[in-house]
Structures are given as C-alpha cells and as structure tokens.
Amino acid sequence: MSDDTITASMPIFPEVKMNIVTPKAPVTGTVVKSEVCLKGGRKSAGFVRHVEIDVSGTPLEGQCRAGQSFGIVAPGVDANGKPHKVRLYSLASPTCGEDGEGKVISTTPKRVIDEFTPQKDGDDPEKHELFLGVCSNYVCDLQVGDKVQVTGPSGKRFLLPVEHDKHDYIFMATGTGIAPFRSMCKDLFEHPSGPTTSQVHVVMGTPYTTDLLYDEFFCELEEKYENFHYHKAVSREKQTDGSRGLYVGQLVGQKYDEVFGPILSSDRGLMYMCGLVGMQFGIYQLFAEKQITDAYMTIKDELKDVCFSDWDREQMRRYIKPTHRMMVEVY
Ligand code: NAP
C-alpha cells in the first residue's frame, strides 16, 4: 500500500470549537430570512422552512462549521414551569455563513404537529389531543426582524475532512436530514479556493417530489459540475420507468455496482447519513451484503455469526459501530 493510499483512507477531521455559547447564557440573533422550503403543490402533510439568523457581533460569529448544529431556546416555560430546554438544529449554512462572512447561519426546521401520546408514568392514557412541538413551531413562526436566543455550536464528528479533495463523498439524507449536506456541498463546491475535484453524491429520500428540500440548489450543482451527482429516492411515487417508489437504501442497492460500489470500496470513499434512524439499518445490511463492512462498521462478536439478513434493529444498535469513514446523525 502506498503512502498516498494510507493517507487517503484515513480522513483527518478539523478541530472545532463547541459550546462557545451555552444554554445558560444564550446570545441574541435576529431572523433575516424565513421562507417555505417545500415546493408549491406539496402533497405531504409537513411544513418545512429555511430560516436564516444573523449572529453578527456575538461569539457565534464565524464559529459554526458545516455539519455542526446550533441551539435555539424558545421563550416561556414548560408544563413544569421551567424555562424551555434548548433544542438543537442542524446548520444548513456553509462554514462561511449565508453571507460569506460567518455572520448569518441557517437551518431547516419542520413543524412538529402530532397527537399527544403518553410519555411517562402518570400521563393520562386516554389523552390524545393535538400536540404542537414547542420549539419547531416557534422557529417556523418567527418573522424577519424577530429576535431569537441562540447557543452553540455543537458536534465534532459529523464534519468534512480537512483535505476535501483526498476523498469522495456519499451523502445520504431523509427529509430535513438534508440540511448538513447543503452546508457541506456549499463548502465543497463554493469554497474560495475553488470547487472540489472529488466525486460527490447526494442521495435524498422524501415521500413526494414536492418534499425535495433545496432541490433547485442540488439540480444547479449537478448541471454545473460533472463530479456532483444528485439521486432522488421518492418513496410514495412511481419512478419514471413505472416501478414502485423506493427508499434511500434501496436506491443505493440498485445503483451499487455502477455508481456507489466503486466509491465505497475504494480508499477514498467517505459516507455520511443524516435523517431517520431506519435508514441506518438498511444501509448496515446492504454494506454487509456487499462485504464492505470492514471499512465502515465495527461489528461486535455477538453479531459475527448471525447472517446479516437476520440482524434485527436492536442488535444493530447494540453491536455495530460506524468507523471513521461512516458519519451518522440519525433520530
Ligand atoms: P420525511 O420528509 O418524512 O422523509 C422521510 C423519508 O424517508 C420518506 O420518504 C420515508 O418514506 C423514508 N423512510 C422511512 N423509513 C425509512 C427507512 N427505514 N429507510 C429509508 N428511508 C425511510 O422526513 P422528516 O420528517 O423530515 O424526518 C427527517 C428525520 O431526520 C427526523 O427524524 C429528524 O429529527 C431527523 N434529522 C436529524 C438531524 C440530525 O441528526 N442532525 C437533522 C435533521 C433531521 P415513507 O414515509 O414513504 O415510508
């Protein structure tokens, strides 16, 4: 193995600052943009916005790196009379901010609209009234000019490596999990030192085409750069060839030999996942089927003699850990 190969397979991640602003002493930002992030004629029941917050003059200015999160503290108190806890939101903005100077950060909040379900002992099992997520609805309601309490940044593992061009990237997202990949793709292709020469693939999973967040941005990147590739896994619509809708993992499986396999099995491949937790399990099993687990997953002895198709979620959660080549942020 040459020295080059060794370096390429071992990504070096940057040191990042964390919790410069803590929830005990949040700083005040100002909303400078809030716009609908879904397309017109949307079919699904969700509401997603793109919200930009000016943090200039605060210690957060210039300190948030693509892939990290920041916190928002909603005003008021919870059911126990205590101030609301901080909620974390993935940055959708690049490291240089929306403004190019690190003054304006952004995120992609989705309104939580649900029915109340008992969470803890003592909750009324019959109660099932409308439940509105406190912070997600607060952030989506904010208007330009509104002040907002912010904290952060947080996260030190879900980052791009220091030397962008030494690796190729596969970004897999479901829904609002696309936010950090908008940030990272901006860092990779709009960097002051020029666009990356690496192969970059974004795989975006949504229920309907109208839920493809930041679709225009990714389509434009694909048009402009031949090393950027955008794959849409739309789960509830028929594909152009008439076949059924599909999930991210199924799309990666279908295009494995021709598109994803060569990258994942080379020393340059890095893989990132953000979104629904279910996506992770499908990918673990796919990687086991394709026999590329060593590079991306550490499998504990408890699972080594069990055929991958028999792994259940609990086993995967307990006995599989991603390596330094697989970055996972799922909920
Ligand atoms: P959404 O719009 O509902 O889209 C989710 C898509 O994933 C749908 O097409 C869904 O298909 C599909 N899906 C369901 N189960 C799957 C599985 N096992 N494997 C692959 N795809 C699957 O998504 P959303 O409501 O925005 O939710 C995104 C999630 O990401 C939330 O849980 C959010 O908390 C999380 N998130 C995490 C971070 C972070 O970690 N930093 C950041 C942002 C978002 P069907 O519905 O058709 O079955």
Ligand 1 atom closest to the Cα of residue 207 is 9
pTM of the model: 0.94
Contact 269, 295 (CB under 8 A): yes
Q: How far apart are CA 167 and CA 187, in angstroms?
A: 14
Residue 4 pLDDT: 43
What's the distance, CA 259 to chain centroid? 22
Instruction: List per-block mean pLDDT (blocks of 10 residues) for the chain, which spans 331 residues.
Output: 50 94 97 92 85 98 98 93 96 98 97 90 90 96 98 97 97 98 98 95 96 96 98 93 92 96 96 96 94 92 92 94 95 89
Ligand 1 atom closest to the Cα of residue 110 is 26
Residue 120 pLDDT: 83
Give residue 68's identity as a one-letter amino acid code.
Answer: Q
Is 176's C-beta closer than 6 angstroms to any atom of ligand 1?
yes
Ligand 1 atom closest to the Cα of residue 234 is 9
Contact 275, 175 (CB under 8 A): yes
Residue 43 pLDDT: 80
Around Cβ 125, how many Cβ atoms within 10 Å? 7
Nearest residue (by CA) to ligand 1, atom 13, is 247
Is 236's C-beta closer than 6 angstroms to any atom of ligand 1?
yes
Distances (CA, A) of 283 to 144, 160, 248: 40, 20, 9
Residue 251 pLDDT: 96
CA 146 to ligand 1 centroid distance, Å:
29
Residue 1 pLDDT: 39
Q: For residue 57, give every residue at least 6 positions away whose Cβ sits within 8 Å of its Cβ, in sequence order, or none.
A: none
Residue 95 pLDDT: 97
Is 172's C-beta closer than 6 angstroms to any atom of ligand 1?
no
Q: How far apart are CA 92 and CA 239, in angstroms?
A: 28
Identify the sign of the CA torsion 119, 121, 127, 131. negative
Is 207's C-beta closer than 6 angstroms to any atom of ligand 1?
yes
Ligand 1 atom closest to the Cα of residue 329 is 40
In this structure, the strands spanning 147-154 and 104-107 are unpaired
Q: And the tokens for 165?
A: 């061009």
CA 152 to ligand 1 centroid distance, Å:
24
Burial class (CB in 10 A: 0-12, 13-18, 19+), 189: buried
Residue 149 pLDDT: 98
Q: How far apart are CA 259 and CA 201, in angstroms?
A: 9
